[in-house]
Amino acid sequence: MRGEGRTVGLVILDGVADRPAPALDGETPLEAAATPQLDRLATAGQSGTMDIRAPGTPMSSDRAHAVLFGYDPAEVPGRGVLEARGFDVSVPADGVTCSASFAAATPEGDRWRITDRTVTDARPCNGAAAQVARFETAGVTVTFDYTWKNRGLVRLRPESGRLDPAVTDVDPFEAGLPVVTPAPLSDATDSDAAARTGKALAAYTRWTVDRLSAMPVDVVLSKWAGQPTDPEPFARRHGMAGATLTPKPVLQGLGHTLGMAVADPPANYDDRCRAALAALDDHAFVHVHYPEPDEVAHAASPAAKRDEIEAIDATLEPLVDRALADPDLVLAVTADHTTPSRGNVVHSGEPVPVALTGETVRRDDVRQFGERSAATGGLGRFAARDLCRQLRAAADRVLLDGLRRAPHVPDHPTTDLDALRRQTDDRT
Ligand SMILES: [Zn+2]
């Protein structure tokens, strides 16, 4: 054990949880996959299932990761801000930053209907970005920065006064639906500022259609408006210096926002596992992200997802060897949400499987890493907001309930204490 507790590793297989597939004899891709390494972890430790938020709530990866890291999503800025930070694009403190994408749309009456929002040929998007780069309306400057594929960032800056990010998304996330009016949300804290944001975004959206009339894409669809917040840093909340190894800019942005060390890990699975092992030597908490199961589930079939899971598992042996041999390491493997590999929902809200190992972790009788086996495990079914505390508990990083060592009452056993002076320095 080093310092104030054991090291914690958290492997997130993005969207690895799934629904039963007829093509896999009613098994999920994870159940159908041969996963000897993940099964070793399940056998050595304790399993359970985890609701990321309220049962049945489909989660995006960014909001799910906020919960997995021990935060309420409301503490963390909207995704537009996280993406901007991930792409190293500056975020205006008093402005609003949205994620955005180019889409094809067609006029329908006095509205527009979206015909293609994926735009797989991204070649024209750089040129399109130049067409929609800067716009001014009613004291608000709107800029567009191209990021990747057909995506970009829309930033709104007020000359004076306020903007509020609580507006509806212009992107309805489904072809065949209309381009949506950006309107203030009913629970906006500043409804006037949200209305102003909505008007500026509406004007910008109409302007992009004019500007893109000669391009193969027709409109900029903005979404996930955000404004910077000031969440408690991860290290202060949990008493662990955190590192996140993720190739996803939005999660890199989340890591930056929470004061974690951020690394873009190798695409090769063997190399990624090696990078995780190296990071565990340098940080008390290491998050290792595999977005691929989710990506394959969106793009392909249950069988393809099963094969991808097997490919990842085949490279995890060094990490599993260490988890089973190192008494100073607590390791958990789980997912951030369920991604159905068939049907047309984006994500779904079933609980995800968890396997937890460590010298302090009680064993159960589960021998496989999968949805139905995990549901029989000793961790039971719990909420993801409690994941970090359970990991810290296994790492002996939770202070006895009721002890107060510091004014802000951290529940981790900090030794960063205000030691009493031997003589008073009160000269008043
Ligand atoms: Zn997904």
Residue 284: the pLDDT is: 97
339 Cα to the center of ligand 1, angstroms: 6
| 105 touches 114 (CB < 8 A) | yes
Confidence grade of residue 156 (pLDDT, cut at 50, 70, 90): very high
Residue 2: the pLDDT is: 43
Residues in the 5 Å CB sphere of ion ligand 1: 294
Please name which of 218, 217, 206 lies closest in space to residue 182, comparing C-alpha atoms. Answer: 206
298 Cα to the center of ligand 1, angstroms: 7
Quick check: 3 pLDDT over 60? no
85 Cα to the center of ligand 1, angstroms: 20
Q: How far is CA 68 from each of CA 295, 358, 388, rounded to the nearest angstrom? A: 20, 19, 7
Q: How far is CA 353 from each of CA 20, 71, 195, 299, 339, rounded to the nearest angstrom? A: 14, 20, 42, 22, 13
Cα–Cα distance for residue pair 291/296, rounded to 1 Å: 9
Tokens representing 354 are 């968890």
Confidence grade of residue 120 (pLDDT, cut at 50, 70, 90): confident
Cα–Cα distance for residue pair 322/320, rounded to 1 Å: 5
Cα–Cα distance for residue pair 180/403, rounded to 1 Å: 51
Q: How far is CA 43 from each of CA 35, 40, 340, 361, rounded to the nearest angstrom? A: 12, 5, 26, 12
Query: Average pLDDT of 144-167?
Result: 96
| 72 touches 121 (CB < 8 A) | no
Residue 1: the pLDDT is: 41
| 77 touches 229 (CB < 8 A) | yes
Residue 428: the pLDDT is: 57
| pTM exceeds 0.75, yes or no | yes
106 Cα to the center of ligand 1, angstroms: 27
Quick check: 404 pLDDT over 80? yes
By CB atoms closer than 10 A (0-12, 13-18, 19+), residue 362 is exposed
420 Cα to the center of ligand 1, angstroms: 52
40 Cα to the center of ligand 1, angstroms: 27
